[in-house]
Chains A and B, each alone.
Chain A
Amino acid sequence: MSELFLTTKDQIADSHTLSVYRSKLQGYAGLERALTMTRDEVVDQVKKSNLRGRGGAGFPTGMKWSFMPKEPKHPDGSPKPKYLVCNADEGEPGTFKDRLLLNRYPHRLIEGMAIAAHAIGASRGWIYVRGEFYQEIVILKKALEEAYAQGFLGKNIMGKGFDFELSIYRGAGAYICGEETALLNSLEGKRGEPRLKPPFPAMVGAFGMPTCVNNVETFCSVVGILRDGPEAFAKVGTERSGGTRLFCVSGHVEKPGVYELPLNITLRDLISHCGGVKDGKKLKAVIPGGASAPMLSAEEIDVAMDFDSLMKAGTMAGSGGVIVMDETVCIVEAAARLLKFYEHESCGQCSQCREGSHWLARLFHRIETGHGDTKDLDTIARLCSNMAGQTICAFADAVTGPALSSLKKFRKEFEAHITGGCCPLKKPGQKAPHFLEHHDHVAL
């Protein structure tokens, strides 16, 4: 068992309270040490840890922090404020780690954000939490009150002359707000539509000011790095991605849940770690990094779960959401389900994505219900080629992940639906899921 940085082997009761966090989890020792360092020294520690962002893109955190301007000024020479934002808009299907961190360790998030605020010189921050996390927001609010009362937030934090104000912003149900510039628009009280980049948030972010956005798990990982030094963190994982990661394993495994494991664990070992495929069935496919990550077939699971290895395998580490599918799953139906999700969640700004996700959802549904045509398979590929890389944000690329990978790796299943005129895995007379029926009469 390797070292744990984010969770404990046995759950500690009341770990969400400040007193338990202080007494049993060395709470705020990381911030205390960070406040003895200069900003650059803190950034340097994070760089040395090889921590890469846990939200999905895997960008090196220390480098992201170093992009923040040192002393930004308005045109009239007055100083510009700098902001820090936590992305807790957890919504990538298959991902549920931020919810655990918010429930059990809200103070670790606050501590990590205070460290980051010191490192980048931010005076104010917001935690953008998805609106459905009502209970998590209640816990987080209480933690913020405790942190303010004990001098870990607010003015003159820990008596070190450092000021940082932090509050919560509640989202309202939009997957796209997990994209950082959509999140910033949402935080400004607007529609969560992604912004064209450049300018990047480090230059023009929340309310037009330089802003740094990181994921919940990223901030939480920073705490141990600052408390114990970057070496222990860098030692775990791979040369280019340090530390452990919270893997969220769902679907057909015996013991689904959140597991903190080193980044170099293989997908095969991860599935075994969760008790293997449920009910002793055979594995069919795995989505290794949240819904947007291209699927892997059962033969491709001897791959390490770090960012680079998964990219080499043609997929991505993404948000750490591992969705396991056994032999009984109809891949066409699973992909259709995901494409319906993307159709629903496309913000509609870019025509390629708005129309493309809509068409793909319809095509997949048509094939699943036995009304497909062989030329639909070429249409899928053609649509995807007109989406990926053509839009303001990476959403359109994400749509093509499940669409293309399912078709490429399970083409025979698609063909069987088309030639057989029905889903070969459905019992005779079994109808397609009710919620897809509104697509039935739409001709392409």
Chain B
Amino acid sequence: MILCETIKSKMEAIRSEFPTEQALLLPLLHEIQAKEGWVSEGAMREASEFLHLPLAKVKEVVTFYTMYNRKPVGKYHIQVCTNIACFLRGSDQLVACFEKKLGISCGETTADRKFTLSEVECLAACGTAPVMQVNNDYHENLDESSCQALIDRLS
């Protein structure tokens, strides 16, 4: 069971905030991903049963939003912004630096399942570009040496 009692009770705690049960879908998927690291087919089935929604209503949401991982990711999910403001401040060099250091391309996970590297669209932190998000945390004002140091620290 992916939907453990902890997740269920978290949902019960916020149920009264919404007029419909369906509104709990995004929060539920966030909880599933926080626990599992991704949203599997099985998790979608459990979510559809829990919220009394057709499976398609769950799947169409999971596939719409980019934050829900549809396959497992590494322990550290490195997401580098390559949108305009970060691009102007050298995000391409950061991506190249990560690819070289980790030996993987964007969208891939290292063999030891420690790092997944992704590109993301604007993270709304353009004043401190280039930026990236590693799991829940923003890292700002980056350069190649700070990225190398981060990988060394997390490795």
Residues of A bordering B, CB below 8 Å? 81, 90-96, 98-99, 124, 126, 130-135, 165, 167, 169-175, 186-192, 207, 209, 248-252, 256-258, 287, 291, 321, 323, 325, 329, 334, 337-338, 341, 344-345, 347, 433-435
Using Cβ atoms and an 8 Å threshold, which residues of chain B touch A192?
64-65
Using Cβ atoms and an 8 Å threshold, which residues of chain B touch A98?
124
A126 to chain B minimum Cβ distance, whole angstroms, is 8
Using Cβ atoms and an 8 Å threshold, which residues of chain A touch B136?
134-135
Minimal Cβ-Cβ distance residue in B for A177:
B65
**In the assembled complex, B3 has its CB within 8 A of some CB on chain A:** no
User: Are the CB atoms of A433 and B127 closer together than 8 Å?
Assistant: no
B54 to chain A minimum Cβ distance, whole angstroms, is 12
One of B65, B96, B127 near A249 (C-beta < 8 A): B127
**In the assembled complex, B2 has its CB within 8 A of some CB on chain A:** no
Minimal Cβ-Cβ distance residue in B for A207:
B19
Taken together as a complex, chains A and B put the C-alpha atoms of A321 and B122 apart, in Å, by: 12
Minimal Cβ-Cβ distance residue in A for B66:
A173
User: Are the CB atoms of A345 and B26 closer together than 8 Å?
Assistant: no
User: Are the CB atoms of B84 and A94 closer together than 8 Å?
Assistant: yes
Using Cβ atoms and an 8 Å threshold, which residues of chain A touch B23?
169, 187-189, 207
User: Are the CB atoms of B30 and A131 closer together than 8 Å?
Assistant: yes
User: Are the CB atoms of B85 and A323 closer together than 8 Å?
Assistant: yes
B22 to chain A minimum Cβ distance, whole angstroms, is 4
A-B contact pairs, 23 of them (CB 8 A): A96-B124, A96-B127, A99-B125, A132-B67, A167-B14, A169-B23, A171-B26, A174-B64, A190-B22, A191-B60, A191-B61, A192-B64, A248-B127, A251-B88, A291-B84, A323-B126, A325-B88, A334-B88, A338-B84, A341-B121, A341-B122, A345-B121, A434-B99
User: Are the CB atoms of A188 and B22 closer together than 8 Å?
Assistant: yes
Taken together as a complex, chains A and B put the C-alpha atoms of A257 and B141 apart, in Å, by: 12
Taken together as a complex, chains A and B put the C-alpha atoms of A250 and B84 apart, in Å, by: 10
B137 to chain A minimum Cβ distance, whole angstroms, is 7
One of B92, B99, B126 near A93 (C-beta < 8 A): B126
Taken together as a complex, chains A and B put the C-alpha atoms of A167 and B17 apart, in Å, by: 7
Tell me which of A92, A124, A172 has the highest count of chain B C-beta atoms within 10 A of its own C-beta: A172
User: Are the CB atoms of B128 and A256 closer together than 8 Å?
Assistant: yes
User: Are the CB atoms of B124 and A434 closer together than 8 Å?
Assistant: no
Q: A93-B85, A329-B88 in contact; A188/B20 too (CB < 8 A)?
A: yes
Taken together as a complex, chains A and B put the C-alpha atoms of A124 and B20 apart, in Å, by: 14
Using Cβ atoms and an 8 Å threshold, which residues of chain B touch A126?
17
Taken together as a complex, chains A and B put the C-alpha atoms of A99 and B119 apart, in Å, by: 21
User: Are the CB atoms of A434 and B96 closer together than 8 Å?
Assistant: yes
One of A130, A207, A345 near B124 (C-beta < 8 A): A130
**In the assembled complex, B106 has its CB within 8 A of some CB on chain A:** yes
Minimal Cβ-Cβ distance residue in A for B67:
A173
Interface size class of B (residues with CB under 8 A): 35 or more
User: Are the CB atoms of B65 and A173 closer together than 8 Å?
Assistant: yes
Taken together as a complex, chains A and B put the C-alpha atoms of A165 and B66 apart, in Å, by: 30
User: Are the CB atoms of B29 and A99 closer together than 8 Å?
Assistant: no
Q: A131-B67, A174-B64, A337-B82 in contact; A321/B26 too (CB < 8 A)?
A: no
User: Are the CB atoms of B14 and A172 closer together than 8 Å?
Assistant: no
User: Are the CB atoms of A91 and B87 closer together than 8 Å?
Assistant: no
User: Are the CB atoms of A189 and B106 closer together than 8 Å?
Assistant: no
User: Are the CB atoms of A435 and B119 closer together than 8 Å?
Assistant: yes
Taken together as a complex, chains A and B put the C-alpha atoms of A90 and B127 apart, in Å, by: 14
User: Are the CB atoms of A256 and B129 closer together than 8 Å?
Assistant: yes
Taken together as a complex, chains A and B put the C-alpha atoms of A249 and B129 apart, in Å, by: 11
Q: Which 8 A-B pairs rank lowest in CB-CB distance, beginning with the nearest? A: A172-B65, A173-B67, A189-B25, A250-B126, A173-B66, A134-B136, A250-B85, A189-B22
B13 to chain A minimum Cβ distance, whole angstroms, is 11
8 Å CB contacts to A: which residues of B109-135?
A: 119-129, 133
Using Cβ atoms and an 8 Å threshold, which residues of chain B touch A124?
17
B83 to chain A minimum Cβ distance, whole angstroms, is 5
Taken together as a complex, chains A and B put the C-alpha atoms of A96 and B29 apart, in Å, by: 26
Q: A132-B67, A169-B26, A207-B20 in contact; A94/B126 too (CB < 8 A)?
A: yes
Interface string of B73-108 (1 = CB under 8 A from A): 000000000111101110010011001000001100
**In the assembled complex, B27 has its CB within 8 A of some CB on chain A:** yes
Using Cβ atoms and an 8 Å threshold, which residues of chain B touch A186?
26
Using Cβ atoms and an 8 Å threshold, which residues of chain A touch B125?
96, 99
